[in-house]
Amino acid sequence: MLSRTSQYALRSVLFIAENSHARRKVGVGEVAKALEIPKYYLAKILRRLAVGKLIRSSKGPGGGYYLNSEDFDHPLIAIIESVDGPDSLKKCALGLNTCSSEHPCPIHFYIGPFRDSLLQSLSEITVGDALEQLKQEHVFIDNLLTGDEKKKSNSDPDERN
Amino acid sequence: MLSRTSQYALRSVLFIAENSHARRKVGVGEVAKALEIPKYYLAKILRRLAVGKLIRSSKGPGGGYYLNSEDFDHPLIAIIESVDGPDSLKKCALGLNTCSSEHPCPIHFYIGPFRDSLLQSLSEITVGDALEQLKQEHVFIDNLLTGDEKKKSNSDPDERN
DNA sequence: CAAAAAAAAGACTTCTCAGTCCTTTAATAA
DNA sequence: TTATTAAAGGACTGAGAAGTCTTTTTTTTG
Ligand code: FES
Ligand code: FES
């Protein structure tokens, strides 16, 4: 549905939003371990997000990634497009050159409404909204893992990630 | 949205349905040229569909691919799952291990309803239904191409595809 | 200023999907 | 029964996504 890269991006932004502010930044290692994302790969994604001004970063001791207040207003679609390129969700599901109701493919009218409302949702929902919803459900983003099984928070210091 | 392989598969099945029956079979080269799909790659996809009993094939002179009457009753989702593996559309959009309302990811409730109805559509609509709809729109499946521009049906015999 | 800490940058590897080509098998028809 | 025809099967290549590692730059702080 979404590329793995944009999955990583979305979860990371939410995690950073949850766990940082301008005076308490989080490092790539921290995010990578909490979300079980390959550290060096994540670093590239975060850089793209930073270039796109969706998150902030600062170097040096005490540095890391964080969100400032405007960043909470970005819609989720902006994160996806920032890492996957624009219109990655707007293409014809059968790969035709144009997707339109004038030149519909056999499944256009089945898929169209679904995709349109998905796109609409992702354009409306901001980072802040998604965070708010997680809060209401009493869920933390790092409790939602992709691995086979949620590991209990053991404290063996496997720094290598 | 859908993998290129399942895009090829769906269009091919519809084309074969449109252009064949037990006494008039179509060859892989014919399908490949009409739909502008790489011939040898298509051959593999058609074999997978044939193994999955979604289309029929026969070797030798006059052989090729065709659909028998039962094959028109297969839902479109069966074609997708046959080439992309089962549940390829049911996974969490953020890549979590389980997708459920009990363990929802931040966008589960935005995506869920739409995906469910898409899945429902693809499970209900049969090959015959889709064909019927194309007929009502006076559209032939090989008029829907993926290339840059629809070429006028020139007759230069470039057999090599 | 010097040392340390962290992101930025870039080279490199690995894996999967898509695409190509060649050989073998099965069916038909002469 | 032999030649021909078409799918089946399998080996190989290429491109792009994902993942890894090392070096460089920037910032802080002692
Ligand atoms: S034309 Fe295929 S999804 Fe719109
Ligand atoms: S849990 Fe992510 S889409 Fe259902």
Q: Protein B116 CA to nucleic acid C23 C1', in Å?
A: 45
> In terms of Cα–Cα distance, which of B52, B112, B105, B115 is closest to B78?
B52
Q: Residue B157 domain-assigned?
A: no
Tell me the pLDDT of chain B averaged across its residues.
Answer: 84
Mean pLDDT for B81-87 is: 88
SS3 B24: strand
Residue with more model confidence, B155 or A112: A112
Position A159: which residue type? E
Write out the residue range of the structural domain in which residue A145 sits.
4-152
Domain count, chain A: 1
Q: What are the pLDDT digits (tens) for A93-150?
A: 766 677 777 777 777 777 777 788 888 889 999 999 999 988 887 777 777 665 433 3
Q: B118 touching A, CB under 8 A?
A: yes
Q: Residue A160 domain-assigned?
A: no
Work out the burial of residue A63: count CB atoms within 10 Å of its CB; fewer than 13 is exposed, 13-18 middle, 19 or more buried. Answer: exposed
Q: Which of A7-16, A73-82, A109-118 has the lowest mean pLDDT?
A: A109-118
Tell me the pLDDT of chain A averaged across its residues.
Answer: 83
For residue B73, give the CATH number of its domain. 1.10.10.10
Residue A71: is its pLDDT beyond 70?
yes
Q: Residue B36 domain-assigned?
A: yes
- Is the Cβ–Cβ distance between A93 and A111 less than 8 Å? yes
* Strand D close to A106 by CB, under 7 A: no
Q: What is the pTM of this model?
A: 0.83
> In terms of Cα–Cα distance, which of A22, A16, A49 is closest to A34?
A16
Provide, rounded to the nearest whole percent, the portion of chain A with pLDDT above 90: 53
Mean pLDDT for B141-147 is: 64
Residues of chain B contacting A91 with CB distance shorter than 8 Å: 1
Give the one of B4, B94, B148 whose C-beta lies nearest to A97's C-beta.
B148
Q: Residue A32 domain-assigned?
A: yes
Q: B104 touching A, CB under 8 A?
A: yes
Q: Give CA–CA dist A85/B23, Å, rounded.
A: 48
Q: Residue A91 domain-assigned?
A: yes
Work out the burial of residue A29: count CB atoms within 10 Å of its CB; fewer than 13 is exposed, 13-18 middle, 19 or more buried. Answer: middle
The pLDDT, as a whole number, for residue A153 is: 36
Q: Residue B62 domain-assigned?
A: yes
Distance A109 CA to ligand 1 centre (A): 8
Q: Residue A79 domain-assigned?
A: yes
Q: Residue B61 domain-assigned?
A: yes
Residue with more model confidence, A84 or A57: A57
> In terms of Cα–Cα distance, which of B157, B30, B15, B32 is closest to A105?
B15
